[in-house]
Amino acid sequence: MLRVISGSKKGIKIEIPKTKNVRPTIDRVKEAIFSIIQFEIKNKCFLDLFAGSGQVGIESLSRGASGAIFVDKFYYSVLAIKKNLSNLKLENKAKVFMMDAATFLENTDLKFDLAFLDPPYSSGVLKQILPLLVKKMLPNGIIIRENSINNPLEDIKGFKIRKLYKYSNVSVVIYDKQ
């Protein structure tokens, strides 16, 4: 089981979906991400694409995000996200969508301050997702991308890389809207 690292829900456990389709972000990486963006979360709208257990979006809510949107195409992931939100009494600050990330981005009118992307490594899906996501980001938007260090770094039109971090076999890139 995972846990919420900080904020109003600190220490509460998060259930991981019972499926091989989920690769949870390890606590060390999650803690580093939120240390980087800690002053940019409060009262912001957070998008957790490829949400898995929902742990990153839940962490954002625990740390003061006004709302979080969770998107995952797998049934067991959506089930776990809804259960986690219910257990943490965060349902009123969240919406969960069971659909492909591209379909969600193509069809939503929502806009986001922060977006976290942790797609299946080596899937190549970011080439399709990133242009769609750019259109859904608010001014001063931040995109956080977790991926394998073996995968190439993506350029995002209209965004610049703030920083690249490496944690063993995982890289985290923070992009700021220009």
Q: Residues 25-46: what's their mean pLDDT?
A: 87
3-state SS, residue 173:
strand
Give the predicted TM-score (pTM) of the model: 0.93
Estimate to the nearest angstrom the gap between the alpha carbon of 72 and the chain centroid. Answer: 11
The pLDDT value recorded for residue 116 is 95
* Sign of the torsion angle spanned by Cα atoms 95, 101, 103, 105: positive
Which CATH number do you get for residue 22?
Answer: 3.40.50.150
DSSP result, 131-151: HHHHTTEEEEEEEEEEEETTS
- Are 36 and 174 spatial neighbours (Cβ–Cβ below 8 Å)? yes
Domain count, the chain: 1
Go through the chain and tell me how many residues it has: 178
- Span 55-92, pLDDT tens digits: 999 999 999 999 999 999 999 999 999 999 999 999 99
Q: For tokens 């073996």, name the residue.
A: 150
Separation CA 25–CA 175 (nearest Å): 19
Which domain range does residue 171 map to? Answer: 2-177
DSSP designation for 24: P
